[in-house]
Amino acid sequence: MEKATERPQRKPRPMIIRTKLPMPTQHPEDRAKNFDEVPYGYNEAEAMFEAQRCLQCKNQPCVKGCPVEVPIRDFIILITERKFMEAAALIKTKNGLPAITGRVCPQETQCEARCTLGRRYESVAIGYLERFVADYARDHGEEVAEIPLKTGKKVAIVGAGPAGLTCASDLALMGHDISIFEALHKPGGVLVYGIPEFRLPKDIVKYEIDYVKKLGVELNTNFIVGRNKTVGELLKEYDAVFIGSGAGGPRLLKLPGINLVNVYSANEYLTRVNLMKAYLFPDYKTPVKIGKNVVTIGAGNVAMDSARTAKRLGAENSIIIYRRSRKECPARAEEVHHAEEEEIEFKFLTNPVRIIGDELSKVKAVECLEYELGEPDESGRAKPIPIPGSEHLIECDVVIIAVGNDPNPLIPMTTPELETTKWGTIVTETATGKTSMKQVYAGGDISTGAATVIAAMGAGKIAAKSIHKEIMAISDDDEKVSLAQGT
């Protein structure tokens, strides 16, 4: 009798680990007293453990959620194979600033939100893994990408923030000569003046910018486009101009008492502390008021940065006032969580009516109203409605206004050919970054208003592709071939 054919044995599926591996952090009580980075980052074993949670989907939905289209599945596979340098190099084919985005990008609403594993369990910690490989490559001497033959074309980049740096690095890797013009004395834009040291160490920003410079990008600081030269004057020297000047103008509230002493915009407050090192006073000669009771108005990431900074500077009570509930906070959930751990006090459903000063015109209190939530407004969030008769005082000696930013009007004022919106942003084609002015492109906060670092980088990449096509007179059919050849 013939022996029955045995059925092939299926390989057992690896056990699915339902929760992501937490990143080790400083203890809240310790970190609230220093400006050292809060998360420590994964070590090699932790990174490999987390990387093995990836399902390695064929359709890679996570990539669709990434504004710069990082090959997420493929770099995670390399981590599982312990090929950390190769993983970093692969990321940098799409993202020139991975150590930065791994720290400040809102992965939870982008790539991780599309993660297949996240449909049932916690998504893979893509941001933590990106940070790990970027840091590993930095510590182990990564090589600079090979630069192709020069095309002879020149592009001017206005602003050395995330959009400008991304556009510059992408165009440099296509063989063009790139010059960046930055108004401040240090490049980095919001990465250096806005985001605090404890969230984004400045030596990491410097390293990433130095990498961009190694691609052959020329960097000019203390150069104000609109004063030193206009966009029109740059066009006489360059084949195209990209405007990535950001949205660094503070948006202030129309409140009685807004001009009192010790009322700061978040821009000024954070710039003094971050860019001008006020937290190291008197070694750095930049003063900032160390308040006993500090009130921050707003609940976005900038508000979290401001309130947490005040705590580290020595505030006994650092208070956030927000007119909606915790659920509607625009800040990243991780940042709100860290703030709560550091004993930042939140006063939700509360909004200021006026700022009260003493006989020397110094802040002494904020008068507020309590609110309740109604139907959703145009933002899609529940509309805050004031409760009559709920007026009350919050004593404080410093107030920080963190309710948004607007673009600096200098470039539109000196370039009347540029079409702008009623908010002062430059009008662009979403798919190309083109402006109303021939050979001029724009992207990032200058065209969208204040947004995320990774969104600005995505705009920089889109503009780089479009600029390359225009100055090389490349058709849509030839684009992929040209980019692959670096010509």
pLDDT, tens only, 391-428: 999 999 999 999 999 998 999 999 999 999 999 999 99
Q: What pLDDT does residue 288 have?
A: 92
State the average pLDDT over residues 337-355. Answer: 97
**Looking at the predicted structure, is the pLDDT value of residue 9 above 90?**
no
Out of 27-31, 37-41, 227-231, 286-290, least confident range: 286-290
pLDDT, tens only, 311-342: 999 999 999 999 999 999 999 999 999 999 99
**Looking at the predicted structure, is the pLDDT value of residue 12 above 80?**
no
Residue 23 lies in a domain: no
The DSSP secondary-structure symbol of 300 reads S
Q: What pLDDT does residue 196 have?
A: 96
| One domain for residues 197 and 96 | no
Domain end marker among 374, 405, 436 = 405
Q: In the beta sheet, which residues pair with residue 263?
A: 399
1 pLDDT band, cuts 50/70/90, is very low
Residue-range definition of the domain harbouring residue 84 = 28-139
Out of 118-127, 135-144, 469-478, least confident range: 469-478
Residue 149 lies in a domain: no
CATH number reported for the structural domain that contains residue 99 in this entry: 1.10.1060.10
| One domain for residues 43 and 172 | no
Q: What pLDDT does residue 5 have?
A: 52
Give, to the nearest 10 degrees, the angle between helix 84-91 and helix 72-80: 170
Domain end marker among 376, 405, 434 = 405
If one counts the domains in the chain, the total is 3
pLDDT, tens only, 368-391: 999 999 998 887 888 999 999 999
Domain end marker among 405, 432, 460 = 405
Q: Which residue has the higher pLDDT, 8 or 337?
A: 337
CATH number reported for the structural domain that contains residue 215 in this entry: 3.50.50.60
Beta carbons of 454 and 67 less than 8 angstroms apart = yes
| One domain for residues 398 and 258 | yes
8 pLDDT band, cuts 50/70/90, is low
Residue 44 lies in a domain: yes
Residue 119 burial (10 A CB sphere; 0-12, 13-18, 19+): exposed
| One domain for residues 234 and 115 | no
14 pLDDT band, cuts 50/70/90, is low
| One domain for residues 124 and 34 | yes
Contacts of 27 (CB under 8 A, 6+ apart): none
Residue 6 lies in a domain: no
Residue 351, both tokens:
């909004």
| One domain for residues 268 and 393 | yes
| One domain for residues 477 and 388 | no
Residue 9 lies in a domain: no
**Looking at the predicted structure, is the pLDDT value of residue 485 above 60?**
no
Locate all alpha helices (DSSP H) within 12-91, ordered by sequence: 28-31, 44-51, 61-64, 72-80, 84-91
Tokens 């020149």 identify what position?
154
| One domain for residues 244 and 254 | no
Residue 461 lies in a domain: yes
**Looking at the predicted structure, is the pLDDT value of residue 163 above 80?**
yes
**Looking at the predicted structure, is the pLDDT value of residue 361 above 80?**
yes
CA distances from 450 to 182, 185, 447 (A): 18, 22, 9
Residue 450, both tokens:
């204040």
On the question of a cis peptide bond just before residue 282, with omega within 30 degrees of 0, the verdict is: yes
Give, to the nearest 10 degrees, the angle between helix 333-341 and helix 301-313: 20
Rounded-to-integer distance, Cα 2 and Cα 299, Å: 75
Rounded-to-integer distance, Cα 69 and Cα 92, Å: 11
**Looking at the predicted structure, is the pLDDT value of residue 213 above 90?**
yes
Q: Which residue has the higher pLDDT, 380 or 460?
A: 460
Residue 169, both tokens:
């690095």
pLDDT, tens only, 263-312: 999 999 999 999 998 888 888 888 899 999 999 999 999 999 999 999 99
**Looking at the predicted structure, is the pLDDT value of residue 478 above 60?**
no
Residue 315 lies in a domain: yes
Residue 322 lies in a domain: yes
Q: What pLDDT does residue 141 have?
A: 94
Judged by DSSP in three states, 441 sits in strand
**Looking at the predicted structure, is the pLDDT value of residue 45 above 80?**
yes
Buried b (16+ CB within 10 A) or exposed e, 144-175: ebeeeeebebbbbbbbbbbbbbbbbbbbbbbb
How many angstroms from the chain centroid is the CA of residue 403? 17
| One domain for residues 298 and 272 | yes
| One domain for residues 327 and 390 | yes
Q: In the beta sheet, which residues pair with residue 384?
A: 373
Q: What pLDDT does residue 285 have?
A: 87
Tell me, letter by letter, the H, E, C secondary structure of the chain: CCCCCCCCCCCCCCCCCCCCCCCCECCHHHHCCCCCCCECCCCHHHHHHHHCCCCCCCCCHHHHCCCCCCCHHHHHHHHHCCCHHHHHHHHCCCCCCHHHHHHHCCHHHCCHHHCHHHHCCCCCCHHHHHHHHHHHHHHCCCCCCCCCCCCCCEEEEECCCHHHHHHHHHHHCCCCEEEEECCCCCCCCHHHHCCCCCCCCHHHHHHHHHHHHHCCCEEECCCCECCCECHHHHHCCCCEEEECCCCCEECCCCCCCCCCECEEEHHHHHHHHHCCCHHHCCCCCCCCCCCCEEEEECCCHHHHHHHHHHHHHCCCEEEEEECCCHHHCCCCHHHHHHHHHCCCEEEECEEEEEEEECCCCEEEEEEEEEEEEEEECCCCCEEEEECCCCCEEEECCEEEECCCEECCCHHHHHCCCCCECCCCCECCCCCCCECCCCCEEECCHHHHCCCCHHHHHHHHHHHHHHHHHHHCCCCHHHHHHHHHHCC
Tokens 């929760």 identify what position?
19
| One domain for residues 258 and 371 | yes
| One domain for residues 223 and 273 | no
